[in-house]
Chains A and B, each alone.
Chain A
């Protein structure tokens, strides 16, 4: 099932806000192409904080497998896709 573009855009906007807030970089421009590995401050601690904030803001709960997937993902676009699928379910 294709996720509507409006949902993807909303999830991207909220996720970007979370990432900026946790990395404490207000001016950071985040797109779907933004890569975690390119941001030094996005370390494993930040990753845990970001995932927890996403779960809270979107009222979702990731399974262990999904957490594993999230930890393997490098691009914000992949994170947004997974969150969009979960919020649309």
Chain B
């Protein structure tokens, strides 16, 4: 069964199973319109004021099972459009096979989850927001630890932390030129931590993304924001040091941001870091990683040669 046939069959099943599905059709179309038009180019979790208001109104209008059905129907509709329109258009631009495979794999997996879903699935949370963005291909899935979405480099964040940082940030921006406006921001997929959060999963992700970037000359490189790229992690959590060492060895640069992360931050779930935090010896710090295009492609070339 092709992906389009699978999507069609799930849709038919949902309409057969739930009497209210047909009534939801106009709401699904509005939802699809918001995601495809308003969310395109925005970060997957930053909704516009219009969309936030509309979603709040929808959330109060329906009960939880109906909202879950609405979310599933919206995902099905978005994936159908993506397969028929977006993916076909992007394939014409000679996307690498790995990028197309990653979309097919993710969509197949999402279809499976829609068919077999338990109660915990399709709540209005960060995972669903990612599913929504990926279904619309506003965000692209990979086969490994992260997803990626086209975003400009956040200049304000990288200039926010001291004079020394300003100089090196300016150097990065000059080297990127106009391409700093066309980067891919990477986001960790929490459902893939095991096993892809380990070193191989990150290396394979960067390699896959380098293929994509190689096929798109206008993309300046990749960036991401995370607490685990903080330089002090080498000292406090040496087992996680590969997370920074790997891209750093390939020419990525790092900038700590000024933002304060709270005492309930995930970095402090670890007992050792919690103890250090309470003793005033560690503060979780969000750090921006920037891996410029040329450096990433050089690193990927070296890795491929090494593995041959």
By a beta-carbon cutoff of 8 Å, the part of chain A in contact with chain B is 40, 43-46, 48-49, 51-52, 55, 62, 64-65, 67
Contact = CB atoms under 8 A, between A and B. Distances in A.
Interface in B164-203: 191, 193-195, 197-198
Looking at A44, A46, A51, A55, the one whose CB has the most chain B CB atoms below 10 A away is A44
Nearest to A51: B194
Contact of B272 (A43, A55, A62, A67): A43
A49 B193 CA distance: 10
Nearest to A39: B271
B269 interface: yes
B195 A46 contact: no
Given A48-B198, A62-B194, 17 more contacts: A40-B271, A40-B272, A43-B237, A43-B270, A44-B270, A45-B237, A45-B240, A46-B239, A48-B193, A48-B194, A48-B195, A48-B197, A49-B198, A51-B194, A52-B194, A64-B191, A67-B194
Nearest to B273: A43
A35 to B, nearest CB: 13
Interface in B260-277: 269-272
B26 interface: no
- Secondary structure class of chain A's binding surface, majority of residues: helix
10 contacts: A40-B271, A43-B237, A43-B270, A45-B197, A45-B239, A45-B240, A48-B193, A48-B195, A51-B195, A64-B191
Looking at A51, A62, A64, A65, the one whose CB has the most chain B CB atoms below 10 A away is A64
Contacts of B270: 43-44
Nearest 4 pairs of A and B residues by beta carbon: A52-B195, A43-B270, A40-B271, A48-B194
Nearest to A67: B194
A55 B198 CA distance: 14
Nearest to B269: A44
B270 to A, nearest CB: 5
A43 B118 CA distance: 28
Contacts of B195: 48, 51-52, 55
A49 B272 CA distance: 18
Interface in B236-292: 237, 239-240, 269-272
Nearest to A46: B239
Contact of B198 (A40, A52, A64, A67): A52
Interface in B200-238: 237
A13 to B, nearest CB: 23
